[in-house]
Amino acid sequence: MSLSPAQRVFRFAPSPNGRLHLGHAYSACLNHDRAREVGGQFLLRLEDIDLARCTPELEASLLSDLAWLGLTPDAPPRRQSEHFADYEAAIAALRDAGLVYPAFMTRGEVKGFATLHEKREGRPWPRDPDGAPIYPGLDRDLTPDERRARIRDGAPFAWRLDMAAALARLEGPLSFTETGNGSEDEVLAEPALWGDVVLARKDLPTSYHLAVTLDDALQGVTDVVRGCDLLPSTSVHRLLQALLGLPVPRYHHHELILGEDGRKLSKSEGAASVRALGEAGLTPVDIRRMVGL
């Protein structure tokens, strides 16, 4: 089924935890230009769940950089930190369905577990697509009494997806439409590669995976255009869409703009910030040219 132009909705979804760099500018321009080409909507979402790293100053600077680039969203931005209740409701639904469980092990403990196992067994512990050791699932096997006791004792915990239970609910394999290679491909989703992913962090009612999936649905996004570093994560998002009964957007994972050293640009290193380039005299047209548009 092809959508009529007015129904297409694109979004740029940066985290305001650093200055807008050339990689973001590219992604934002692509979303904006495609929306304009098809007479669709261009939306902005501020992925600011990490309250310690996302500041009002960085958000203001991001908004002014986007305005300077001439990328005006068609609606006020959705700020994730204002919608924690939506994520809590989704976690509650998954909890009621028996698909998430409280996990007490910290990332450091998971790493330690993997290293110990590797030393003992002499072979590598499995890693997720981001290279982090797969969670060993020890907390999944706690009895309800043990769980209750730990929570009563005040032990902090995250909510993790019970991947095996989630996959058992599916009627068949999942896939999504991907246009990043210039053709329209149906890509098989492989959420199992991630193991029992965190859906709500210890300090927050959500994680990136849950918030991004829910918000794309709540904002009526039909086209997700984002960097190819997020392609593996789409498998988790596709699974959450199936579990929560959400619509499935089309995906376009674009190539990344790399730094001179060939590495991904990083906000924390202040790489090629749009602001600095503007202050050095470059125009928005120069910026577009620099990213190949």
The residue range among 11-19, 123-131, 154-162, 248-256 that interacts with ligand GLU, by the rule CB under 6 A, is 11-19
Q: At its nearest, how many Å lie between ligand GLU and the CB of residue 80? A: 9
Task: Name the 3-class secondary structure at 288.
Answer: helix
User: Taking CB under 6 A as the rule, does residue 61 contact ligand GLU?
Assistant: no
Q: Which of 241, 232, 187 has its CA nearest to residue 210?
A: 241
Residue among 10, 15, 99, 161 that touches ligand GLU (CB under 6 A): 15
How far is Cα 151 from Cα 37, in angstroms, rounded to an integer? 52
| Least gap, CB of 67 to ligand GLU (angstroms) | 18
- CA 135, CA 71: separation in Å to the nearest integer? 40
Type and span of the H or E element at 9: strand 9-12
Judged by beta carbon, residue 28 or residue 105, the one nearer ligand GLU is: 28
Q: How many residues bind ligand GLU (CB under 6 A)?
A: 7
Q: Minimum distance between the CB of residue 104 and ligand GLU, rounded to whole angstroms?
A: 27
* Alpha helices, DSSP H, located in the chain: 22-37, 56-68, 84-96, 107-121, 144-152, 163-168, 208-218, 234-244, 274-279, 284-290
Helical pair 234-244 and 208-218, crossing angle rounded to 10 deg: 60
Residue 29 is a binding residue for ligand GLU (CB under 6 A): no
Closest CA to 289 of 19, 25, 3, 14: 25
Select the span of 13-21, 65-73, 139-147, 271-279 touching ligand GLU (CB under 6 A): 13-21
Name residues contacting ligand GLU, limited to 180-239 (CB under 6 A).
Answer: 212, 226, 230
Which residues, other chains included, contact 157 with Cβ-Cβ below 8 Å and sequence gap of 6+? 102, 103, 104, 139, 150, 151, 202
Q: Report the C-alpha gap between 238 and 222 in whole angstroms.
A: 14
54 binds ligand GLU (CB under 6 A): no
Which region among 9-17, 117-125, 162-170, 252-260 touches ligand GLU (by CB under 6 A)? 9-17
Residue of 8, 9, 14, 136 that binds ligand GLU (CB under 6 A):
14
Among residues 47, 65, 139, 223, which is the contact residue for ligand GLU, using CB under 6 A?
A: 47
Q: List residues near ligand GLU by CB under 6 A.
A: 13-15, 47, 212, 226, 230
